[in-house]
Amino acid sequence: MMYSAALGGQNLSDGPVQNYRAFKSTTWQGFPRAVPDLAINGTTVYVSWNGATEVQMWEVAVGDKSAPHTLSSAANASRSLFETSLTMDSESPYVQVRAYGGNGAILGASAVVESSSGSSAFNGKVHRLSNPEVIGASAPTCGNYQVQQVVSTSLGVRTVMNYRLLCTVTLLMVFILIV
């Protein structure tokens, strides 16, 4: 719901409502602040990103014990409703999921997870880079997001960090009440 207004009581259940309007937007775009969630069951990876409306495709990237910081694509699938399942050819010790938009840009990525424990690998260092080298970025626009490709020289990992431009939208509502 993008807009809601009620004239009368502050709570819709505390008395007679004189007027109520609600409008649904078909152009609303959701870009959550949290990273995508994933669950692993053998070779199946379940992924969801609550509130993300622009995801078109998911990719599973995996790494092995000999080169845990090097991730390669293992599976991809079109987004299906709230939760999408992807099947890998074989189990892998390290798994990450990446969300792609319609233009092929990466919208977000999960933490790299150890499949055996389900916990974040590398003590979360992959997503907490200090002073990363910025490779490129899209132009920020109000109400949209900015995706930056980042390289960590210390980890040798290319990852994605999302920055959202917080925009304040001010709505002026004037009600003239004639008594």
Residue 1 domain-assigned (yes or no): no
Query: If you ran DSSP here, which 8-state letter would residue 122 be given?
Result: G
| Tally of structural domains, the chain | 1
Let me know if residue 22 belongs to a domain. Answer: no
* Torsional sign, CA 47, 53, 57, 61: negative
The distance from CA 63 to its chain's CA centroid, rounded to whole angstroms, is: 22
Rounded (5°) CA angle 159-128-94: 55
- The 10s digit of each residue's pLDDT in 33-61 is 888 989 888 899 999 998 888 999 999 99
3-class secondary structure, 37: strand
* CATH code for the domain of 60: 2.60.40.10
The answer to whether position 179 is within a domain reads no
pLDDT (tens digit, 9 = 90+) per residue, 121-155?
654 433 332 333 333 333 333 333 333 333 333 33
Q: 159 pLDDT band (50/70/90 cuts)?
A: very low
159 domain-assigned: yes
pLDDT in the model for residue 60? 93
Instruction: Tell whether 174 is covered by a domain.
Output: no
Q: Which amino acid is at 57?
A: M
- 156 assigned to some structural domain: yes
| 139 strand-pairing partners | none
pTM over 0.75: no
d(CA 24, CA 36): 25
Domain ranges, residue 115: 37-164
Is 171 a member of any domain? no
pLDDT digits (tens, 9 = 90+) for 63-116: 888 876 788 889 999 998 889 999 999 888 889 999 999 888 889 999 888 887
Residue 116 to residue 40: CA distance in whole angstroms: 9
- 169 in a structural domain: no
Angle (nearest 5°) at CA 89 between 83 and 92: 85
